[in-house]
Structure 1
Amino acid sequence: MASDIERQSDPTRFGTEAFYASIGRAFVAMCAFVPVLFLIEFFDKLSGNRLDQEGGIRPHHIDGLDGIVFAPFLHASFDHVLANSIPLILLGTFVLADGGARFWITTAFIAIVAGVGVWFLGDANTVVVGASAVIFGYLGVILMRGVVGRRLWYIAVGLLVALLYGWQLFGVLPGDPDVSWQGHLCGFLAGLVAAVLFRRRRPRPVEHVDPLSLGSDLS
């Protein structure tokens, strides 16, 4: 059985001081990252949207494969960045709070899977940019972590954000030609898988063995 001190020092245990400290640090980090996206969009506008054209994903085009790396940092407009900012901060905070290394490998996995999905399934006459595929991936991570780790607060956070931005959830289905539903769907599925692949392994409890009882069995 874990002691009270061990419980309070566990950043994954809801309600502990370590948990709130981890959430706070992650929130500050995500808030600091969003201005970078606005800065990139600023330079994109100065270049006449050249960054989008050269760094976005161009489905079915070999020269558009590098967009898998760059597209999550690029956006079609400042409104596009703004629309992604709040859900990115909220969902990214809870994904990051579970560990920096796990956050980066999870993010990379989501971006690559979603990007490859867009490249194979997207319209060849489009250029796809935006962090929304990663955002949907984070939503998948949070929901699946709640199921796999039996952490109800994870599920509650995922459902709350889903309700707040419920109109965006329809982005996983074909509809608006200006919305990459392929990226959203592949990102969400990648998030579900990432939550299982990169989940936190908790050590198994060590059973206490009474040497006196062993001696009695051998006698």
Structure 2
Amino acid sequence: MKKLLSDRFDLLFKFIGLVIAVEILNLLTGRILNHLGIYPRDLFGLVGIITAPFLHASIWHFLSNIVPLTILGLILSVHGPRKLAKASLIIMALGGGLVWLFARSSFHIGASGLVFGWWAFLLALGYYQRDWKAIGTAIAVLLLYSGMFVSLFSLRSPISFESHLFGAFAGIVAAAYLGKAKQQS
């Protein structure tokens, strides 16, 4: 039983550890890594699709992302490490790609695109997968994080609402793809 639980959460804990390690490095270097965020429609800005979720503008920005990232990641890990990995890759690639294509010309950094992606994924998975585990987690996420609907379109200037919006969209796409794949198997 203990081995099963460690297998289920191992990938998440490694990912969270990497986010924390990059934050410490970025903090100690005066946030020099933040130029590796997504910069829309610039060839060098494409690297940010991979790196942006690991970079934060401040300790407050980091903390406001790491807490929901950990909680939603734990909930998503209940569905297994493969679903966590596949959903994360889809959300980072599609959400980040859409930010690169359509967002304002500015560096877009932070894990909030992934946070909103996991949130929308868990909500939509109940619809697309249609089993009790997926529906139960969707209800739990709705109860815990219903306030995210309001911040989905936060238009305060330093906040990348585009990352929120496109992350959520990518989460729904990932749920449709992975939830329907589960139904067919």
Same fold? TM cut 0.5: yes
Q: CA deviation at 1:103?
A: 2.3
Residue 109 (str. 1) matches residue 78 (str. 2): no
TM-score (norm 2): 0.83
Contact residue 25 and residue 97 of structure 1 kept, 8 A: no
Ranges in structure 2 where 5+ consecutive residues have no aligned partner: none
**Structure with higher helix content:** 2
Look up the match of 2:156.
176
Contact residue 23 and residue 94 of structure 1 kept, 8 A: no
Ranges in structure 1 where 5+ consecutive residues have no aligned partner: 1-16, 205-219
TM-score (norm 1): 0.72
SS of 2:110 mapped into structure 1: coil
Q: CA deviation at 1:163?
A: 4.1
Distance 2:155 2:113 in 1: 16
State the one-letter code of the partner of 1:147: Y
Residues paired across the two proteins, number: 184
CA 1:182/1:23 → structure 2, altered by over 3 Å: closer, same or farther?
Answer: farther
Contact residue 129 and residue 182 of structure 2 kept, 8 A: no
1:74 is matched with which residue: 50, 55, 77? 55
Q: CA deviation at 1:91?
A: 1.8
Distance 1:114 1:35 in 2: 22
Distance 1:22 1:135 in 2: 25
State the one-letter code of the partner of 2:166: C
SS of 1:37 mapped into structure 2: helix
Question: Cα deviation per residue 1:6-37 (whole Å; 9 max; x = unaligned)?
Answer: xxxxxxxxxxx8xx986665346534542432
Distance 1:28 1:148 in 2: 26
What RMSD in Å do the two structures reach over aligned CA positions?
A: 2.6
SS of 1:176 mapped into structure 2: coil
Runs ≥4 residues deviating over 6 A: none
Tell which has more relative contact order, 1 or 2 (C-alpha 8 A, sep 6+): 2
Residue 50 (str. 1) matches residue 38 (str. 2): no
Distance 2:183 2:147 in 1: 36
1:195 is matched with which residue: 169, 175, 180? 175
Distance 1:62 1:32 in 2: 29
Residue 61 (str. 1) matches residue 42 (str. 2): yes
What percent identity do the matched residue pairs reach?
29
SS of 1:123 mapped into structure 2: coil
Question: Cα deviation per residue 1:39-86 (whole Å; 9 max; x = unaligned)?
Answer: 211111222211111x10112222111100110111112222221222
Higher Cα Rg: structure 1 or 2?
1
1:41 is matched with which residue: 23, 28, 38? 23
